[in-house]
Amino acid sequence: MSALGVIVAVLSVAVAAAVGVYIAAWVDIVLARAVAGVAVRPLEALVAPLSWGAAAALKARTTTERPDAETWALAPALLAALAAVGLAAVPLAPGLLAADVANGIVLFGAAMALVVVAVFLQGWSPNSPLPMIGGYRFIAEGLSYEIPLAVVLIAAALPARSLAIAPIVLSQENLWNVVRQPLGLPLYLMAALGLAFWGPLALPEGEDLAGGSSLEVSGVSRILWRIAQLMILVAVSAMGAAVFLGGWLGPLLPGAAWMIAKTLVLLVLLVGARHLVARVPTERYVIASWAILIPLSLLDVFIAGIQALVAAR
């Protein structure tokens, strides 16, 4: 265990998260303009996240009458830390992995399970009605997407015979999981949108709650919350690329380039979903998740299981 190795790993995850977040914010702006039918100007939009963030940063922090100040401060930090841990669990190339643990998808699952805590605290802490409704909504949402998320990751682990991510990537050498387990990636992406409370699953922060759990937040805290949310998007995109799109596997280019390219593809998909899919109603989402998505994810496990058995024979 070398201290230098730990420092390098922490720094590289920080850089990856920062770059990923910036790209996500930029892609969001570009896609929004494209969908709105106004001139896109991708290069000009490159500075937009920076200037928008700067404008927001110069605002003072607001508070409410009797908030839970400590948990309110903790919420964005916790969300970001969980996203960073999730991102650290994803290998960039063979051997290039920050958090090399034997139970990679369990680590990822544990980090993502705690996202519910961060978002709930963000909504609960200000002691304000609309954010609180948002926070409670996210619990309903979180309890609904968590099981499909874990189950499709488990299905991907079946052919690899391991819960670590690198063997899962290697097990896709002949055929990527996106083809082998056709239900896996769509279910994963739906859960990923929920994790990032983004676009169609932005239930805690929906426009119907006037911003919901982040309604009372201003200034730097507001940007930090948005950054943490985008970090989650980046982390789930990277994990999706590794587990379903064959990670670093690919011809010609070096492995890391493939991994980055695949992550970006998923990131664009997830970010774009916000501009094309309407926000789903909370209650109907919960029912659909339990009555349809969870059974489908279990079906996915069986498809994966039968396939793994046939392949092993």
Partner 1 sequence: MGLTATIARLAASAPARCFPLVGAQAEEVAPWLRLDPLLAIVDSPRAADVLLVLGRSDDEMLRAAAAVHDAMSPPRGVVVWSPDGVAPGRWPSSDAVIVREPGEIALTCRRLRDDLLGRRVTSSPDVLPDLDPAPWRGVGPFGQGGTGMTGGVPYGRPLAGRADDRDGLKLDQMLVRVGPFLPPFPPGLQLDVKLQGDVIQEVTIPAAIADAAGSSGGEAPLGAPGPRGHAARLAVAGDSPFTAALTRPVPIAELELPRARHHLAWLAEALRVSGLEAYGLRVLKLAFGLDLESADSIDALDRWLRRNVSLRWGTSHVGVVTGAQAEGLPGGPVVRASGDDRDARSLDPAYQRLGFEPVVRDEGDALARWRLRVAEARQSLQLAKRSGTSESTPSGVAEGPRGPLAADASPSAGLVALLPELLAGMEWGDAVTTIVSLDVGVVEPSEQRAAAGAGPS
Partner 2 sequence: MQGVAVTLAIFFVTIAAFLVLRSAERRLSPRTSTAPARVPFTGGRSPDTHAWNRYHVRYYPMSLLFLAFDMEMVFMYPWAVVFVDEGLIALIEMFMFIVILLFGILYTWRERALEWA
Partner 3 sequence: MILDVTFWAFAALAVFSGWRVFRADSMVRAAYWLLVSFAAVGVILVLMKAQFLGLILILMMGGEMTIMAVFMVAFMMNPAGLNPMTMVHRNRVAIVAGVVSFLAIAALGLFARFPTAPAPGGVDPTRKLGVELLGDSMLVFQTAGVTLLATMIAAIAISSARGRFGNADEGSVEPVQLVAADAGDEPGEEGPR
> Across the strands, what pairs with 93?
96
Asked if 68 is part of the footprint of partner 3 (rule: CB under 8 A), the reply reads yes
Q: Which stretch binds partner 1 (CB under 8 A): 59-67, 93-101, 116-124, 299-307?
A: 59-67
The reply on whether position 143 binds partner 2 by CB under 8 A is yes
Least distance CB 200 / partner 2 (angstroms)? 19
Q: What are the DSSP E strand ranges found in the chain?
A: none
CA nearest neighbour of 122 among 135, 103, 106:
135
Q: Does 281 bind partner 1 (CB under 8 A)?
A: yes
Does 307 participate in binding partner 2 (rule CB under 8 A)? no
Q: How far is CA 64 from the centre of its chain?
A: 29
| Residue 218 binds partner 1, judged by CB under 8 A | yes
Pick from 94, 186, 219, 250: which binds partner 1 (CB under 8 A)? 219
Q: Which of the ranges 45-53, 183-191, 258-266, 301-309 carries the binding residues for partner 2, by CB under 8 A?
A: 301-309
Work out which of 268, 290, 296, 303 binds partner 2, going by CB under 8 A: 290
Question: Interface with partner 2 includes 263 (CB under 8 A)?
Answer: no
Q: Pick from 16, 45, 78, 233 the residue near partner 2 by CB under 8 A.
A: 78
Binding of partner 3 by 117 (CB under 8 A): yes
Identify what 180 binds: partner 3, partner 2, partner 1, none; CB under 5 to 8 Å per kind: none
Do 102 and 164 touch, CB atoms closer than 8 A?
A: yes
In this structure, which amino acid lies at residue 128? Answer: S
**Proportion of the chain in helix, strand, coil states, percent, rounded to 5:** 75, 0, 25
Nearest to 206, CA basis, from 131, 125, 287: 131
> Quick one: 150 or 193, whose CB is closer to partner 2?
150
Cβ atoms of 267 and 20 within 8 Å: the answer is yes
Buried b (16+ CB within 10 A) or exposed e, 152-162: bbbbbbbbbeb
Amino acid at 195: L
Based on the shown chain and the rule CB under 8 A, indicate whether residue 207 belongs to the binding site for partner 1: yes
Q: Does 145 bind partner 3 (CB under 8 A)?
A: no
Q: Rounded to whole angstroms, how far apart are CA atoms 302 and 296? A: 10
- The H or E element that residue 177 is part of is helix 177-180
| Least distance to partner 2, CB of residue 136, Å | 6
Which residues contact partner 1 by CB under 8 A? 31-33, 35-38, 47-48, 50-52, 54-62, 65-66, 129-130, 133, 136-137, 199-200, 202-203, 206-211, 214-219, 222, 274-284
